[in-house]
A and B are shown apart, each in its own frame.
Chain A
Amino acid sequence: MKAKSLIYYALISSMFLFSLVSIWKILVTLQGVELKNFNFVIIITLGIAISLLNLIVGEKLNYLIKSTLFAFIFTFVDGYLVQIMPIWYNIGIFAILILFSLKTNKYSQKFLASEHSSQIVVFDFLTLFGIVLFSFVILFPFYMMLITSFKTQAALLINPLDFSINFKQDFKELFKSYFVIFDTYKFGRYILISTFVSVGTVIVTLLFAIPAAYAVARLNFFGKNFLSTSILIIYMFPAIVLVIPLYTVFSQLGLRNSVGGLLIVYTATTLPVAIYMLQGYFRSIPKELEEAAIMDKLNWFGIIIKIILPLSIPAISSVALYVFMIAWNEFLFSLMFLDNPNSFTLSRAIQYLSGDAETPRQYLMAGSVVVTIPVLLIFVYFEKYLVSGLTAGSVKG
């Protein structure tokens, strides 16, 4: 056993334990429990002690018994010598310690003597640390959004750290913010508008993109290469440089405040990437199928409908989902074009709501939950398709 490996192992494992315990403590604090100290020194010392004990005990004890034993020791010391806390806090600590001991169990004295053992230990724990940290940092804002929508302004002002939800109150009270945004702020209407615009954009984009992509993929015509390069270049131009001319022209044509105007703009901005993605896929379809179709005297319309479409369902779904996501989340154009609350999209409605300083934050968060949940559900359910869409379309974002 090398001294260097031993030190690395003891320090990094106890640091990992400390970060796990600290995140748990933050979550506990957010339930309104008063907890003011991470107890860095004590936790690190306990962590080092347990890591070393693990090495000393080795395989003399069954690993389950060993882990449970360590977890008990740690929970006891932490709970009764450091701070008196509710029992569920201690249960959490116990669970963390079981997890930690099971992880450290794989390191033995023999392992620490092997080559690169210190590096492997560091990499292993950094991986674990990364998983915990990234999950926390990414999920926490979403968690906060959801919880805040169930709280009241008064409760949040009294203790901004109390994120506990009282499930004993009746349903109407708990979902009050949602009732308010749907009744007072007409969010039902905005959901309909957003859905209409997004689904409309998907349909119109596909109607325009499928024939164009087919032409670019299969037919020979003058300016084809120029067209396929310029698709990508056009795609690189950001919305912000289009905003002023579009605003002026749309104002003069009376297209502002119309959902149709928004739909046209969304379609145009997503068309280049849709064409780009689809033509790539169309190229991969064997040409022989179409040649057979030409023998059968099908025209291009027939070829697209009867041969290309059925074979490209995966690519078309990717494009459709990607375009839907872009249109649903879009903000800049809806801010520019819509000033009449009757034609707001969800994003614009939330921004409008936040413009009034008096609006309680739980309404804002309830609105945010309403606009976020559909995209996240669609994303989780159709992840495979969306990820390929994202990768292809990720030149933008």
Chain B
Amino acid sequence: MSDTLSKIEKKTAYILILPAVFLVFSIILFPIFANVWISFKEVGLKDIRIPEPRAKKIVKSIKDNPDQLKVIYKLRNSSLILEIRDVKFQDKLPKNIKPINLDERCRVKSNKIYCDFGNWEAKYKENFQILLKSSDGKQINKKELKTIKPKLTGKSDNILLNTNFTFKNFKKVFFQNEFFDLLSTTFYYTFFGTIGSIVFGILTAQLVNQKFFGRTFMRSVLLFPYVGPVVALAYTWELLLDPYSGTLNNLLMNFQVIQEPLNLLGQKYLKINFFGFDLKLRLALTTVIIFEIWRYFPLAFLFILARLQAVPKELYEAAEVDGAGPLQKFISITLPQITAVISILFMIRFIWNFNKFEDIFLLTGGASGTRTLPINVYEQGFTISDIGMGSAVSIVIVALLLLFMFVYFKLIGKRVDES
């Protein structure tokens, strides 16, 4: 009895989860595996279009012969690279119209023309003509003839489905792509962005955890940058930071903080003289990191605030009785209470910042030394139009991501064991 019940339960469970699992599998997991496949192929953006046989129909009248018409089909293979095999053509004729001197590749059957064009090589072109004659002496309706569209079918190889593989893409990724430059920029961006957002998260959480007028309002406001659409915020920042008409540069110059406008998003290095040392700051990268911190510290804030509010008040009261000042309370009560949250946050934010695409893409497009790995995926795939290379870079990202996750779950697991 209970056996059948559990069988029913299992069956129900599978019915319930199947749609979701199927969707996630086809849109998330399948592409990740497909990336591996594509990354071993030489595929350009233009190759992924499936070759199609196409025909453009032109109808012409013939001089001195009003009951005859000439139809020209401009036939072509849409692909510049691939052949189409076994092209079949089909077009309908209005009633009472018969073709004369029909091409030997074609035949007529119940008001339809069928043709077998055989194989078309890449770039194939042909002007195919048919002469039409009205069988009842009435003039042929040109418009009606024009509106009927011919149908063409054919078979072709899909470059994505054949089994020609190559290591070229990975060779290029590691040896011709300034790979280590990419990697170091990505890590620089990820690391400082993560640290920055956590530091500001701690500061703001500490702030909002106190009582003051307008505290709930402040809490909402602090989340605005995270909730707002990235497109709107990135363009606003771009205008704000513009070297000539941007508010920030004009304000700084107005108050004589700087003499020359700074191209904060377009300049790779800024030379700074620091106590006699000439330092080179990655200016555009720093700006992008600051934007990232501005946009994502609210998350750290939210996490840490939730943790702080769970800290028992008695701890602070006891510390006060013991004569601890605010600094000491922060160091010996608050910090130990939030270290667990901070380490989780660090790892989560690290993984996500590592994959961040939109923010940099919208602010600099990857120029001026802000090219990270995700930006490179886009550039390879859609700017240089090399899908194979784009996939290869994606694979590198996935590999690094799996590594981070492995470390993450190891450490989290350890933490769970300890507690």
> Which residues on A are within 8 Å of B, measured CB to CB?
26, 29-30, 35-38, 115-116, 119-120, 122-123, 127, 130-131, 134-135, 137-139, 141-142, 144-145, 148, 156-157, 160-161, 163, 208-209, 211-212, 214-216, 219-222, 224, 227, 233-234, 236-249, 251-252, 264-265, 267-269, 271-272, 275, 300, 325, 328-329, 331-332, 336, 346-347, 350-351, 354, 361, 364-365, 367-369, 371-372, 375-376, 379-380, 383, 386-387, 390-391, 394-397
Contact = CB atoms under 8 A, between A and B. Distances in A.
B101 interface: no
A396 B352 contact: yes
B113 interface: no
Contacts of B272: none
B24 A272 contact: yes
Nearest to B204: A134
Which 9 pairs between the two chains have the least Cβ-Cβ distance?
Answer: A268-B27, A238-B355, A368-B232, A116-B325, A245-B31, A245-B34, A221-B13, A211-B16, A212-B20
Interface string B253-273: 011100000000000000000
Given A134-B207, A241-B31, A372-B229, 5 more contacts: A36-B256, A116-B326, A130-B203, A139-B221, A379-B224
A239 B23 contact: no
B352 A267 contact: no
Interface stretch (B54-62, B79-87, B133-141, B295-303): B295-303
A39 to B, nearest CB: 10
A350 B232 contact: yes
A233 B405 contact: yes
Contacts of A120: 325-326
15 contacts: A116-B323, A135-B218, A142-B228, A144-B239, A161-B251, A234-B29, A236-B351, A242-B27, A264-B27, A350-B232, A364-B235, A375-B228, A379-B223, A380-B220, A387-B223
Contacts of B20: 208-209, 211-212, 271, 275
B13 A245 contact: no
B120 to A, nearest CB: 20
A268 B24 contact: yes
Nearest to A331: B358
Q: Looking at A130, A243, A247, which has the most chain B CB atoms within 10 Å of its CB?
A: A243
Contacts of B35: 241, 244-245
A160 B246 contact: yes
B394 to A, nearest CB: 4
Contact of A268 (B28, B218, B377, B382): B28
A332 B357 contact: yes
Contact of A145 (B24, B223, B236, B246): B236
Contacts of A397: 226, 296, 299, 352
Contacts of A221: 9-10, 13-14
Given A375-B229, A396-B352, A244 B381 contact: yes
B11 to A, nearest CB: 9
B38 interface: yes
Nearest to B326: A123
Nearest to B47: A248
A383 B397 CA distance: 35
A161 B247 contact: yes
A119 B326 contact: yes
Secondary structure call for the B interface? helix
Contact of A216 (B17, B31, B221, B327): B17
B384 interface: no
Interface in B1-39: 6, 9-10, 12-17, 19-21, 23-24, 26-32, 34-35, 38
Given A29-B251, A130-B203, A212 B231 contact: no
B6 A127 contact: no
Interface string B352-369: 100101100010000000
A241 B398 contact: yes
B71 interface: no
Contacts of A29: 251, 254
B250 interface: yes
Given A134-B207, A240-B374, A246-B27, A372 B232 contact: yes
B254 A161 contact: yes
A215 B348 contact: no
Contacts of B10: 219-222
A379 B382 CA distance: 35
Interface in B230-249: 230-233, 235-237, 239-240, 245-247
Nearest to B37: A245
Contacts of B256: 36-37
Contact of B231 (A119, A239, A241, A371): A371
A240 B231 contact: no
Given A347-B231, A351-B362, A240 B204 contact: no
B164 to A, nearest CB: 16
A300 B12 contact: yes
A233 B306 CA distance: 24
Contact of A245 (B38, B50, B255, B405): B38
A138 B224 contact: yes
A224 B12 CA distance: 13
A242 B32 contact: yes
A107 B48 CA distance: 73
A244 B379 CA distance: 11
B391 interface: yes
A200 B288 CA distance: 33
A389 B302 CA distance: 11
B106 interface: no
A245 B392 CA distance: 11
A271 B19 CA distance: 11
B352 A244 contact: no
